[in-house]
Chain A
Amino acid sequence: MFYREAGQFRTSYAQDSQIFPLRQDRIGMVILLIAAALLPFVANAYWLTAILIPWLVLSLVALGQNILMGYAGQLSLGSAGFMAVGAFACYNLILRIDGIPFVVAVALSGVCAALVGIVFGLPSLRIRGLYLAVATLASQFFIVWALDKFPWFKNYDPAGVITAQPIIMFGHNFASPREKYWVVLAIVVVLTLLAKNMARGSVGRGWMAVRDMDVAAEVMGLSLLRTKLQAFAISSFYCGVGGALFAFAYLQTVEPSAFAIDLSFRILFMVIIGGLGTIMGSFLGAGFILLMPIFLNIFFHSVFGKSVDATITSALEQVIFGAIIIVFLIFEPLGFARLWQLTKERLRLWPFSH
């Protein structure tokens, strides 16, 4: 009844190509963004630092993974490695370049990660599927090892740990959880918009063509080399920026092992559960994976009246995530994003059933 297209005409191709062709969606998005910006005034510090900031940051990384795996169809298990490159690059840039604004450092860290991504993405020109996944495992293990073994990256810290510097831009130190949240929100919103534009335009079509039928893509003049490496580069950029934000806005004290293979698997799950090849899916998947431990805790508290051993909840998490992946792959391979889309389509007809 409320969510209808009736009366909304699109009279030009440009109008038809908008991100939100429906007026209700546009209004909804604006409301959402305003709410997100005003959130720190109602949310407490715990919510901001432990839930919202990591959610935004990991959504960004999941977005990067989605670009590579969901849109371009390149199986990758190395996202955490590229996060690490971004995190340590940002730390070193701020350390060694006086007065560099945080945003610039983050952007350059993304570029560093992109370059590393291109190098490790080269095998994708000859191999695919599981073989490529193994190659990305090589990048994951190698990167974390290198960052650990060459003390230069950690500025020769004896404990092997780096402490993220304060976030300083335009002479202001964004130190409080609120301010960190706003910085992260701004960066994530902008990068998400750019990703959406790419995904819907010729770039995204090129990726999906390579994913779906690379021989046909070549036959249409698409350069597999350029398209695949571009996907790796852009994806790694997003993972790198995410990694930098992960270190600076969330972890604060960082060591290379924070970016180990199990983080890569988590990101993989976020993308599969959220919906491969969708922008929204990255956010939904990240939210789901992040909130599950909290739900489990609450569940156990209310049912059993006491906290349950952390090892049991983490084992249970593993079982649930794995089971959901299997169930989704069987019944709804496009994940939560598709479920959301189906809900919207129901809403368009509501209160009618067809």
Chain B
Amino acid sequence: MTTRDIVFTAVGAVTALSALLSVTTKHVVHAALWLLVSLGSLAGAYLVLGQELVGLVQLLVYVGAIVVLVLFALMLTRAPIGPHAEIDTPWWQRVVGALLGAATAVMLASLLLPFFSGATADLDTRPSATPQIAQAVFGTWVWPFELLSVLLLVALIGAFAVSRLVIGDRGVGRGASDGDRAVAEGPPSVGDGRAGAHHSATAVAPAPTGGDRA
């Protein structure tokens, strides 16, 4: 056991434990927060593996953006506060899920652990990998990189278009209210304060959502 082994075991234990809690907890919001812990400590695991750029991007994109987006989605969908059994499938489906998860683990372990058994990486004397990554991104990988920017733009426009989608609204002369709703609920990716306040205001209304949609 070298020092990096010990540090990685500690960080990896935190990652695995919080990942397990994020898929088993009965609190909806706690699941997102445990996911935050798991992804953050995975960034630490990348640091231990000597890939500081990947670790920082993980912190920025996953912890900074994706988990916040998930939390916003939970708030916008009126996530219940407190333990809630309704977020899980029935017990027999969970047993099947656990069996399939264990089968996935056995399959991947039987493939990966022999592949990596005894393999070591000497990271202490190695120079930083960041200049190599930068040269590779803007050299070999420059066209996939540019394509990814197009993908992000398409995802942005797609999220906006989907969030404006009003399924089955076929009324004539309801254009004004439709427009108001589309503006008020806006793109979910932005997560602006207006949408959040709007939904929390409707959360206290007793009318079912399906009803006032008609």
A binds B: no
Interface residues of chain A, those whose CB is within 8 Å of chain B, are none
Interface residues of chain B, those whose CB is within 8 Å of chain A, are none
